[in-house]
């Protein structure tokens, strides 16, 4: 029989401060699953009106699903976070878009009516588990020339993107990177980032016990001059440096999604509504171009154009990847709608966790900009993919809920 799909809303999102991967990083002796657990517990703490048994699914992403990032992480994290044993969970892997995929997966299930409320997020402890640890790529993918060997090295794919789009110069990338650092520093000064963060108790062999309260990777005060002299590790005389790309990082994110009806029934805030999403495949050698066709497909499916998008949260895996996106859609490098609080070049990119960071920041920005109706979160994905999610701002004058509520919040 015919059925009506439910509207899906993003209720709230949180993340740990992002750390630098390695023995000196803040999370060097912190388990990856404990980072996720901290985020889930914080979501529940922030929404006391939500009975834990109402959470019907937990989907957690990790790119390297091994050790403390393995063993069906969504289920393990759910149990350790204090959710009831009746709450199921699972793991997701779509490399950098893991958390984004966890969100779209559970949103689709909510829309279909399989359940009403779910947690989605991601974690990457690149210090404990470097990308590619323990993997065994089938040699036929290279031997049969399905891909060039450079497709398996993300920095090399960024250099390939520079080859294909020579107008995206190293100078432009460095300038974009400086802008990311500057915007993040300003956002911290203005108190924009702190509401998203969950403090994490840490322990370090040399420093002892500590408390992570702010991101570790940012380099405020970065200048064009300081970036110009950095090495290009992926190619002699190349373009990609540690200054115009995201680093190797540790961190976790989680968010709460609900049907619009369930959110209204429980008095949960609707920070934004999911409009449409898309994942596409592209040539693995230039994976950074992936957000372009993914965005085009999502816009087409939603009946919108790029001019309808008033805020962009684009993952800055590499500056060249963002700039090719902006060039394609005719958007200036310094457009204030793009990553207004900085991006991954400054804050870090713990792979599978980053998608929810983009969404959480967009939700906060929607609340500050009721004049903006639609926003976009998009990212490139290793092995040649792109992902994009379009969201609607419930604070906009033209937003129409699919349900009517009374003044006390009951449907």
- List phi, psi (to 5°) of 29: -120, 30
Q: How many CB atoms lie within 10 A of CB 53?
A: 11
Per the residue annotation, which of 125, 129, 162, 349 is the catalytic one?
349
**What CA–CA distance (Å, rounded) separates 158 from 160?**
5
Q: Which two tokens stand for residue 281?
A: 């495949």
DSSP symbol at 406: -
Could you tell me if residue 386 is left (phi over 0), alpha (psi between -120 and 50 degrees) or otherwise beta? Answer: beta
End-to-end CA distance of the chain: 25
Name the strand (E) or helix (H) holding 337. none
Q: What is the DSSP string of 324-335?
A: HHHHHTT--TT-
Question: Which residues 6+ apart lie within 8 Å of 360 measured at CB?
Answer: 12, 13, 14, 15, 196, 253, 255
- 255 part of the active site: no
Our measurement of the distance from residue 244's CA atom to the centroid of its chain's CA atoms, rounded to an integer in Å, reads 18
| Residue keyed to tokens 């920041």 | 361
- Pick the closest to residue 5 from 107, 143, 89 (CA basis): 107
Per the residue annotation, which of 39, 96, 173, 255 is the catalytic one?
96
- Pick the closest to residue 252 from 39, 90, 103 (CA basis): 39
Half-sphere exposure of 247 (CA within 13 A, CB side): 21
Which of helix, strand or coil describes residue 210?
strand
- 349 part of the active site: yes
Cβ(346)–Cβ(184) below 8 Å = yes
**What CA–CA distance (Å, rounded) separates 394 from 400?**
8
Q: What is the DSSP string of 141-208?
A: HHHTTSS-GGGG-HHHHHHHHHHH-TTS-HHHHHHHHHHHHHHHHHHHHTTSSGGGB--EEEEETTTE
Per the residue annotation, which of 39, 173, 255, 380 is the catalytic one?
380
Question: Does the CA dihedral 353-354-357-359 come out positive or negative?
Answer: negative
- 380 part of the active site: yes
Q: Which residues are annotated as catalytic?
A: 96, 349, 380
């Amino acid at each position: 029989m015919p059925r009506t799909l439910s509207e899906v809303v993003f209720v709230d999102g949180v993340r740990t401060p992002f750390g630098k991967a390695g023995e000196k990083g803040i999370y060097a002796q912190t388990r990856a699953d404990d980072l996720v657990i901290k985020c889930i517990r914080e979501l529940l703490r922030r929404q006391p009106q939500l009975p834990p048994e109402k959470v019907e699914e937990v989907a957690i992403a990790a790119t390297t699903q091994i050790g403390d990032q393995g063993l069906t992480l969504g289920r393990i994290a759910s149990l350790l976070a204090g959710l009831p044993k009746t709450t199921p969970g699972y793991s997701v892997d779509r490399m950098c878009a893991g958390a984004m995929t966890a969100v779209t997966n559970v949103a689709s299930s909510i829309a279909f009516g399989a359940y009403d409320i779910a947690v989605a997020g991601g974690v990457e402890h690149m210090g404990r588990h470097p990308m590619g640890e323990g993997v065994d790529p089938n040699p036929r993918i290279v031997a049969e020339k399905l891909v060039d060997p450079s497709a398996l090295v993300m920095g090399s794919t960024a250099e390939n993107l520079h080859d294909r789009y020579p107008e995206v110069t190293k100078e432009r990338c460095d300038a974009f990177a400086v802008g990311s650092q500057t915007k993040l520093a300003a956002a911290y000064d203005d108190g924009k980032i702190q509401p998203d963060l969950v403090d994490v108790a840490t322990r370090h062999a040399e420093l002892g016990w500590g408390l992570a309260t702010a991101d570790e990777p940012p380099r405020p005060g970065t200048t064009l001059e300081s970036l110009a002299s950095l090495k290009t590790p992926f190619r002699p005389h190349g373009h990609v440096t540690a200054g115009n790309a995201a680093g190797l990082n540790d961190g976790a994110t989680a968010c709460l999604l609900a049907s619009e009806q369930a959110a209204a029934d429980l008095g949960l805030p609707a920070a934004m509504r999911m409009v449409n999403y898309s994942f596409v495949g592209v040539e693995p050698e230039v994976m950074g171009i992936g957000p372009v066709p993914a965005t085009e497909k999502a816009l087409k499916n939603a009946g919108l154009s790029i001019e309808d998008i008033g805020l962009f949260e684009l993952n800055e895996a590499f500056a060249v990847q963002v700039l090719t996106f902006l060039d394609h859609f005719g958007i200036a490098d310094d457009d204030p709608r793009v990553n207004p609080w900085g991006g991954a070049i400054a804050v870090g990119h713990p792979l599978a966790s980053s998608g929810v960071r983009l969404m959480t920041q967009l939700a906060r920005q929607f609340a500050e900009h009721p004049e903006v109706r639609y926003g976009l979160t998009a990212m490139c994905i290793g092995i040649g993919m792109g992902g994009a999610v379009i969201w609607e701002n419930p604070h906009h004058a033209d937003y129409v809920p699919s349900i009517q509520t009374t003044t006390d919040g009951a449907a």
